[in-house]
Chains A and B, each alone.
Chain A
Amino acid sequence: MKRSYLAILALVAAPLAVSAGEITPTQVSFSDGSVEASLTGVPGDPAMGREIVGNKSLGNCVACHEVTDLADVPFHGEIGPMLDGAGDRWTEAELRGIVANAKMMFEDSLMPSFYKTEGFIRPGNAYTGKAADDTFGPLLNAQQIEDVVAYLVTLKD
């Protein structure tokens, strides 16, 4: 299952990575942990975002967060805060910043940085245990980040 993660990412990432005007991971501009501008200019798709949040091979957000809206997906974790009401607690820009790189807002956050490609210690090639090679990319691509953000803003109490 884990092995298929990179394969799926690569499939999804390849066509999107070439979109003109896309903000690359190293170009993202954070302001107090928020990211105002869309990474792609293309509105996120909340249905896709919902899939990414719950899917083990994509965002796998539920590994650490509980989401009542995703009750059909088994086994939600309890490492991070519950996501119910996230759309009330945070603005879209804040959510984009947190999903892209939560450590910009919360220095010691355990949350993986989903749109970051530099500054890792011993980065690996997905879950192989081997060193990263030139296929290394962010955990989610730019449009996937936008999709997740679009879904999170719908989570209102």
Chain B
Amino acid sequence: MKKLTSALLASAVFCTPLMADPVEDTLILNEEITMVTRTAAPAHVSDVLDEVISGWHFRGTETRAMQADDFDNPGMIFVEQAEEVWNTADGSEGKSCSSCHEGTDSMKGVRAVYPKWNEAAGEVRTLEMQVNDCRENRMGAEKWKYTGGDMTNMVALISSVSRGMPVDVAITGPAQSMWEQGKELYYTRTGQLELACASCHEDNYGNMIRADHLSQGQINGFPTYRLKNTKLNSVHARFKGCVRDTRAETFKPGSPEFVALELYVASRGNGLSVEGPSIRN
């Protein structure tokens, strides 16, 4: 079906300036780290996908190139800002992130396994939740807004030191029920347009929807610098935007529903390299 549509499109030049299929290319970060941007689907999605593909393959040549070099990646400016915040004390305890965690290198590997079950708290936590837990309970500082700039920049900093490591989110054990809930949401057709995540990102990735080239909706590249709004965007802000675009009442960023959805969607990208901060449209 997809092949047929592409053939039809090829004969109709007015239609789209982009090729419909994901582009064949290799992402080598800073001429150093070869990123896994497509790989065999993890077992828990192999019934519906053969291969998982990073959104990087669905973007244009310039956008892809921009992400390959930290000097060209505008997302790294926000990472640098967060680096300063990392070392700046805040709150009643007079502590900064570095007071407990030392250099940001200590965060290596963290992004790859989040969202993650927190045994002491008895809940699945996103990185954002963990950051706010530190701020409130270790630093005596104010919580950050879930999708605010401070938070998203910090998550990008934490992500940046895991780039190249495979996403490896645990879906069994205590996280399993939340994962199931996320899966349920992924396949629920919401809003007046009655579209599920799967409608676009599983059934139609590679196809054009108006001028947009649909990707698999992988979140290994988050936070992502969008050329559209020239800042870093968090996973939940993107979820909210997508649900809104189905003409639905959205869930709130940080809500249990979106935490569950993040766990599920992250797990669909198990095996892809952590890319955040990536660059997308």
A77 CB to nearest B CB, Å: 5
Q: Is the CB of A66 within 8 A of B248?
A: no
How many chain B residues touch A (CB < 8 A): the figure is 34
Decide if B240 touches A66 in the complex (CB within 8 Å): no
Please count the residue pairs between chain A and chain B whose beta carbons lie under 8 angstroms apart in the complex. 103
Which residue of B5, B16, B194 is within 8 Å of A75 (Cβ)?
B16
**Which listed residue (B6, B20, B191, B207) contacts A121, Cβ 8 A?**
B191
B191, B209, B240: the one within 8 Å of A123 (CB): B191
Number of interface residues of A (CB under 8 A): 35
Beta-carbon contact of A129 and B209 below 8 Å: no
* Interface locus among A12-20, A28-36, A57-65, A149-157: A57-65
Q: Are B247 and A126 in contact (CB under 8 A)?
A: yes
Q: Chain A, 61-87, contact with B by CB distance < 8 Å: what is the 0/1 string?
A: 011101010010011111100100000
Q: Which residues of A contact B12 (CB under 8 A)?
A: 66, 68, 71, 76
Task: Write the nearest CB–CB distance from A72 to chain B, whole angstroms.
Answer: 8
Task: Say whether B191 contacts A78, CB under 8 Å.
Answer: no
Asked if B245 lies at the interface with its beta carbon under 8 angstroms from chain A, I say yes
What separation, in Å, do the CA atoms of A132 and B246 have in the docked complex?
12
Known: A75-B16, A120-B190, A122-B248. 17 other contacts (CB 8 A): A62-B210, A66-B8, A76-B208, A78-B6, A78-B16, A78-B207, A79-B207, A82-B8, A110-B204, A112-B193, A112-B194, A121-B194, A124-B192, A124-B246, A124-B249, A125-B249, A126-B247
Report B's interface with A, CB cutoff 8 A: 5-6, 8-9, 12, 14-16, 20, 188-195, 199, 203-204, 207-211, 240, 243-250
A residues sitting closer than 8 Å to B (CB atoms) are 2, 56, 60, 62-64, 66, 68, 71, 74-79, 82, 103, 110, 112-113, 120-132, 136, 139
